[in-house]
Amino acid sequence: MITENLQKAINDQITAELWSSNLYLQMSFYMEKEGWTGAAHWLAKQAEEEREHATDMARYIIKRGGEAKVSMIDVVPEGWGSYLEVFENVYKHECHVSELIDSLVNVASAEKDKATQDFLWGYVREQVEEEATAAGIVDKIRKAGESGLFYLDAELAKR
Protein backbone atom coordinates (compact mmCIF):
# COMPACT_ATOMS: atom_id res chain seq x y z
CA MET A 1 0.00 0.00 0.00
CA ILE A 2 1.29 3.45 -0.90
CA THR A 3 1.12 6.25 1.67
CA GLU A 4 -1.10 9.29 1.09
CA ASN A 5 1.94 11.58 1.18
CA LEU A 6 3.79 9.59 -1.47
CA GLN A 7 0.65 9.16 -3.57
CA LYS A 8 0.17 12.95 -3.57
CA ALA A 9 3.81 13.52 -4.52
CA ILE A 10 3.62 11.09 -7.43
CA ASN A 11 0.30 12.58 -8.57
CA ASP A 12 1.98 16.00 -8.55
CA GLN A 13 4.73 14.53 -10.72
CA ILE A 14 2.14 13.06 -13.07
CA THR A 15 0.74 16.56 -13.56
CA ALA A 16 4.29 17.91 -14.07
CA GLU A 17 4.99 15.22 -16.69
CA LEU A 18 1.81 16.13 -18.54
CA TRP A 19 2.78 19.82 -18.42
CA SER A 20 6.15 18.81 -19.87
CA SER A 21 4.35 16.90 -22.61
CA ASN A 22 2.30 19.96 -23.46
CA LEU A 23 5.42 22.15 -23.39
CA TYR A 24 7.25 19.94 -25.88
CA LEU A 25 4.18 19.62 -28.06
CA GLN A 26 3.84 23.42 -28.18
CA MET A 27 7.55 23.71 -28.97
CA SER A 28 7.01 21.15 -31.74
CA PHE A 29 4.21 23.28 -33.22
CA TYR A 30 6.44 26.36 -33.00
CA MET A 31 9.35 24.67 -34.78
CA GLU A 32 7.01 23.26 -37.45
CA LYS A 33 5.71 26.77 -38.09
CA GLU A 34 9.29 28.02 -38.35
CA GLY A 35 10.06 25.35 -40.96
CA TRP A 36 12.27 23.15 -38.78
CA THR A 37 10.52 19.83 -39.30
CA GLY A 38 13.31 17.72 -37.80
CA ALA A 39 13.24 19.61 -34.52
CA ALA A 40 9.44 19.53 -34.62
CA HIS A 41 9.54 15.74 -34.98
CA TRP A 42 12.09 15.36 -32.16
CA LEU A 43 10.03 17.55 -29.84
CA ALA A 44 6.80 15.70 -30.69
CA LYS A 45 8.52 12.42 -29.76
CA GLN A 46 9.69 14.03 -26.52
CA ALA A 47 6.09 15.07 -25.80
CA GLU A 48 4.98 11.44 -26.26
CA GLU A 49 7.72 10.25 -23.93
CA GLU A 50 6.65 12.65 -21.17
CA ARG A 51 3.06 11.47 -21.49
CA GLU A 52 4.29 7.87 -21.19
CA HIS A 53 6.08 8.82 -17.97
CA ALA A 54 2.82 10.18 -16.56
CA THR A 55 0.94 7.04 -17.57
CA ASP A 56 3.59 4.74 -16.08
CA MET A 57 3.49 6.65 -12.80
CA ALA A 58 -0.31 6.49 -12.71
CA ARG A 59 -0.24 2.74 -13.28
CA TYR A 60 2.34 2.37 -10.52
CA ILE A 61 0.11 4.19 -8.03
CA ILE A 62 -2.83 1.99 -9.00
CA LYS A 63 -0.77 -1.20 -8.63
CA ARG A 64 0.15 -0.08 -5.13
CA GLY A 65 -3.52 0.37 -4.19
CA GLY A 66 -3.63 4.12 -4.60
CA GLU A 67 -5.58 6.49 -6.80
CA ALA A 68 -3.96 8.29 -9.73
CA LYS A 69 -5.16 11.84 -10.28
CA VAL A 70 -4.38 14.56 -12.78
CA SER A 71 -4.60 18.09 -11.46
CA MET A 72 -5.21 21.13 -13.60
CA ILE A 73 -2.38 21.62 -16.06
CA ASP A 74 -1.17 25.20 -16.46
CA VAL A 75 -0.81 26.82 -19.86
CA VAL A 76 2.61 26.47 -21.49
CA PRO A 77 4.57 29.26 -23.22
CA GLU A 78 4.02 29.75 -26.94
CA GLY A 79 7.17 31.25 -28.42
CA TRP A 80 10.90 30.85 -27.94
CA GLY A 81 12.84 32.68 -30.62
CA SER A 82 15.75 30.94 -32.30
CA TYR A 83 16.51 27.26 -32.78
CA LEU A 84 19.16 27.57 -30.09
CA GLU A 85 16.77 29.27 -27.65
CA VAL A 86 14.24 26.46 -28.06
CA PHE A 87 16.78 23.80 -27.14
CA GLU A 88 18.31 25.89 -24.36
CA ASN A 89 14.80 25.90 -22.90
CA VAL A 90 14.56 22.12 -23.40
CA TYR A 91 17.81 21.68 -21.47
CA LYS A 92 16.72 24.05 -18.70
CA HIS A 93 13.41 22.23 -18.40
CA GLU A 94 15.07 18.80 -18.24
CA CYS A 95 17.26 20.07 -15.39
CA HIS A 96 14.11 21.23 -13.61
CA VAL A 97 12.45 17.84 -14.09
CA SER A 98 15.57 16.19 -12.65
CA GLU A 99 15.14 18.31 -9.51
CA LEU A 100 11.48 17.25 -9.29
CA ILE A 101 12.37 13.56 -9.62
CA ASP A 102 15.13 13.92 -7.01
CA SER A 103 12.60 15.46 -4.62
CA LEU A 104 10.20 12.62 -5.31
CA VAL A 105 12.91 10.07 -4.47
CA ASN A 106 13.48 11.96 -1.22
CA VAL A 107 9.78 11.64 -0.35
CA ALA A 108 9.89 7.89 -1.03
CA SER A 109 13.01 7.63 1.13
CA ALA A 110 11.38 9.58 3.98
CA GLU A 111 8.35 7.29 3.73
CA LYS A 112 10.71 4.27 3.83
CA ASP A 113 9.09 2.93 0.66
CA LYS A 114 11.86 0.95 -0.99
CA ALA A 115 9.64 -0.33 -3.82
CA THR A 116 8.83 3.23 -4.87
CA GLN A 117 12.46 4.28 -4.51
CA ASP A 118 13.43 1.42 -6.81
CA PHE A 119 10.70 2.40 -9.29
CA LEU A 120 11.85 6.03 -9.26
CA TRP A 121 15.53 5.20 -9.76
CA GLY A 122 14.63 4.31 -13.34
CA TYR A 123 13.46 7.88 -13.82
CA VAL A 124 16.58 9.28 -12.16
CA ARG A 125 18.73 7.36 -14.65
CA GLU A 126 16.52 8.42 -17.54
CA GLN A 127 16.74 12.07 -16.48
CA VAL A 128 20.53 11.89 -16.60
CA GLU A 129 20.20 10.73 -20.21
CA GLU A 130 17.59 13.36 -21.10
CA GLU A 131 19.71 16.17 -19.66
CA ALA A 132 22.78 14.89 -21.50
CA THR A 133 20.86 14.59 -24.78
CA ALA A 134 19.48 18.13 -24.49
CA ALA A 135 22.91 19.51 -23.55
CA GLY A 136 24.41 17.69 -26.53
CA ILE A 137 21.88 19.18 -28.91
CA VAL A 138 22.56 22.68 -27.54
CA ASP A 139 26.28 22.10 -28.00
CA LYS A 140 25.79 20.89 -31.59
CA ILE A 141 23.60 23.90 -32.42
CA ARG A 142 26.29 26.26 -31.13
CA LYS A 143 28.98 24.48 -33.15
CA ALA A 144 26.90 24.08 -36.31
CA GLY A 145 26.21 27.72 -37.03
CA GLU A 146 23.35 28.81 -39.27
CA SER A 147 24.21 26.64 -42.27
CA GLY A 148 24.86 23.59 -40.10
CA LEU A 149 21.35 23.77 -38.66
CA PHE A 150 19.93 22.20 -41.80
CA TYR A 151 22.09 19.11 -41.27
CA LEU A 152 21.30 18.99 -37.55
CA ASP A 153 17.59 19.37 -38.26
CA ALA A 154 17.76 16.38 -40.60
CA GLU A 155 19.51 14.38 -37.87
CA LEU A 156 16.83 15.24 -35.29
CA ALA A 157 14.18 14.00 -37.72
CA LYS A 158 15.63 10.49 -37.41
CA ARG A 159 14.52 10.06 -33.81
**Tens digits of residue pLDDT in 44-53:** 999 999 999 9
Q: Note the pLDDT tens digit of each residue in 22-41.
A: 999 999 999 999 999 999 99
* pTM given for the model: 0.95
Q: Which strand (E) or helix (H) includes residue 62?
A: helix 37-63
For the domain covering 4-156, report its CATH number.
1.20.1260.10
Residue in 15, 38, 151 with CA at minimum distance from that of residue 87: 38
Domain ranges of the chain: 4-156
Share above pLDDT 70 across residues of the chain, in percent, rounded to a whole number: 100
Mean pLDDT of the chain: 96
Residue 146's pLDDT is: 85
Query: Which pairs from 136-142 meet CB under 8 Å and 24+ separation?
Result: 137/87, 137/90, 137/91, 138/84, 138/87, 138/88, 138/90, 138/91, 141/83, 141/84, 141/87, 142/84
The arithmetic mean of pLDDT across residues 52-67, rounded, is 97
